[in-house]
Amino acid sequence: MIRKIQTIVLLILFFFPNNVHSLIEVDITRGNLNPLPIAVSPLFSDEKTTSNGKKELEISDIGSEISKIVENNLRRSGLFNPLDKKAFLQKSDIAHFKPRFEDWGLIKAQALITGKVSLIDDKLKVEFRLWDILAGREMIALAFTTVPNNWRRVGHIITDKVYERLTGEKGYFDTRIIYVSEKGPKTRRIKRLAIMDQDGFNNKYLTLGNELVLTPRFSPTNQMVTYLSYFKNLPRVYLLDIETGLQEVVGDFPGMTFAPRFSPDGKKIIMSFAKDGNSEIYTMDLENRIVEKITNHPSIDTSPSFSPNGKYIAFNSDRSGYQQIYTMKSNGKSVKRISFGKGLYGTPVWSPRGDLIAFTKLHKGKFYIGVMRTDGTGERLLTENYYQEAPSWSPNGRVLIFYRETKSDSEGKGFSAKLWSIDLTGYNERLVETETDASDPSWSSLLSN
């Protein structure tokens, strides 16, 4: 008898789960063919704020501009469908206090973002709310204060909070991308380090273009960049402070150093050092300047990538005859090959989630961006192209940014290099707009940490 009751209770629990969560959930683990219809109401601002916005920041309607940032972020994520503002029935100030859910439901919105912004006495105060239209309830209510110059970051932070509430994952919108801006003929490309917000705004150049610069990477605090420079025709790894613009060479190596990255704790640089035809992986401690040799093999060892806990390193080696991906402990022991498919593998990058390694693959004249588990199983190719390489992970490990080049004739006509991004699901492949041609992108971690 008790057995029967137990079974019935279990069955009831199974078929009628306790659901106190909202009805809206966005699944980011599968390809999303039904982006969530969401209404992004312009943030309400009073007259004083609007006029301050015009005066101090040269923006005609700060509340509207911030909501546009949120809208664009949500649209570009491929998971949301921001609805046309012209269809909105309720005004932004009223909606923020008491949305008429039926009005928003009429235009088929399932979620609504409203807010208020004030710019007074050099302080930018923002409050916003996320509403579940179907359940007729508020989901988040947040307020924060910042400096006026951060007004674009306000839009990104709001997006991150909304994304996190609806997907269960941290967002990636309050971030920057560092990359190499390219110009000129293929035979003599002019390259400069550049940095921009992940939505393409606030682009800034960090070097002048007088010497070749390649493969920049952020430090974990996003304050420093490490990269390869051919300053004085000596290819070496450098550090650059983003705020001050100060550059310094890393260490005192008697030969080319290249392929630099920071360790996850930011204390070391890991890189390749090439001498007498052999490239090995080394680390250098930025504080005590101690140099450690990590690999020891006559093959090419390069493109190192730390696991997020700093215990392992994935890297590219041709010790088996051709470019393959290997992992090893951070002290160089227990080297293990993990790529076994057909073709050449390069540019391994360990996901910030620790679960996957993204890579570039070349097979039968085609380039692929793919991912595999850290033991090499589950290889999945996301996109194929004439030429593409060097994926970099968004900080939530859900999106990859990389670059592509096009074919050109013998005069170099037709050549272009552009940044592209794709979701881990293989969907939402899109061009990342840049002022010039671009390559070697690297994604920062969240700025608001």
Instruction: Check binding of 38 to another protein (CB under 8 A).
Output: no
Residues between 250 and 269 that touch another protein (CB under 8 A)? 256, 258-259
Q: By CB under 8 A, how many residues form the interface with another protein? A: 46
Q: Which residue from 3, 277, 288, 377 is in contact with another protein, where contact means CB under 8 A?
A: 277
How near is the Cβ of 253 to another protein at its closest, in Å? 13
Q: Which residue from 34, 187, 244, 377 is in contact with another protein, where contact means CB under 8 A?
A: 187
Other residues' Cβ atoms within 10 Å of the Cβ of residue 144: 14
86 versus 364: smaller Cβ distance to another protein: 364
Which residue is associated with the tokens 């046309």?
84
Q: For strand 36-40 and strand 111-120, is the pairing parallel, antiparallel, or unpaired?
A: parallel
DSSP letter at 8 equals H
Q: Which stretch binds another protein (CB under 8 A): 193-201, 202-210, 343-351, 428-436?
A: 343-351
How near is the Cβ of 277 to another protein at its closest, in Å? 3
Q: Which residues on neighbouring strands pair with residue 37, listed in sequence order?
A: 81
Residues 350/308, Cβ–Cβ less than 8 Å: yes
Q: For strand 301-306 and strand 291-293, is the pairing parallel, antiparallel, or unpaired?
A: unpaired
Residues 328/350, Cβ–Cβ less than 8 Å: no
Instruction: Check binding of 184 to another protein (CB under 8 A).
Output: no
**At a CB cut-off of 8 Å and minimum separation 6, what does 168 contact?**
25
68 versus 189: smaller Cβ distance to another protein: 189
158 versus 390: smaller Cβ distance to another protein: 390
Instruction: Check binding of 362 to another protein (CB under 8 A).
Output: yes
Amino acid identity of residue 134, one-letter, is L
Which tokens belong to 291?
């140099």
How near is the Cβ of 261 to another protein at its closest, in Å? 11
Q: Which residue from 46, 61, 138, 318 is in contact with another protein, where contact means CB under 8 A?
A: 318
Q: Which residue from 274, 328, 369, 438 is in contact with another protein, where contact means CB under 8 A?
A: 274
Instruction: Check binding of 300 to another protein (CB under 8 A).
Output: yes
DSSP letter at 81 equals E
Which tokens belong to 124?
């930018």
Residues between 374 and 403 that touch another protein (CB under 8 A)? 387, 389-390
168 versus 412: smaller Cβ distance to another protein: 412
Cβ-count burial 289-317 (b if 16+ within 10 Å, e if not): eeeeebbebebbbbbbbbbbeeebbbbbb
How near is the Cβ of 383 to another protein at its closest, in Å? 16
From residue 278 to residue 297, the character string flagging contacts with another protein as x (rule: CB under 8 A) and all else as - is: xx------------------
Q: Which residue from 84, 121, 252, 276 is in contact with another protein, where contact means CB under 8 A?
A: 276
Integer Cα distance of 8 and 137 in angstroms: 33
From residue 115 to residue 154, the character string flagging contacts with another protein as x (rule: CB under 8 A) and all else as - is: ----------------------------------------
Instruction: Check binding of 323 to another protein (CB under 8 A).
Output: yes
379 versus 405: smaller Cβ distance to another protein: 405
Residues 280/297, Cβ–Cβ less than 8 Å: yes
Q: Which residue from 272, 374, 392, 394 is in contact with another protein, where contact means CB under 8 A?
A: 272
Integer Cα distance of 343 and 352 in angstroms: 26
189 versus 353: smaller Cβ distance to another protein: 189
CA 420-32-14 angle, to 5 degrees, is 145
Q: Which residue from 51, 407, 431, 433 is in contact with another protein, where contact means CB under 8 A?
A: 407
Other residues' Cβ atoms within 10 Å of the Cβ of residue 1: 5
41 versus 388: smaller Cβ distance to another protein: 388
Q: Which residue from 31, 185, 310, 378 is in contact with another protein, where contact means CB under 8 A?
A: 185
How near is the Cβ of 324 to another protein at its closest, in Å? 11
**At a CB cut-off of 8 Å and minimum separation 6, what does 109 contact?**
37, 38, 39, 83, 133
How far, in whole angstroms, is CA 423 from its chain's centroid?
10
Integer Cα distance of 345 and 360 in angstroms: 6
CA distance between the termini of the chain: 56
Integer Cα distance of 171 and 98 in angstroms: 27
Chain positions contacting another protein, by CB under 8 A? 185-189, 212, 214-215, 228, 233, 235, 256, 258-259, 272, 274, 276-279, 300, 302-303, 316, 318, 322-323, 344, 346-347, 360, 362, 365, 387, 389-390, 405, 407-412, 415, 439-440
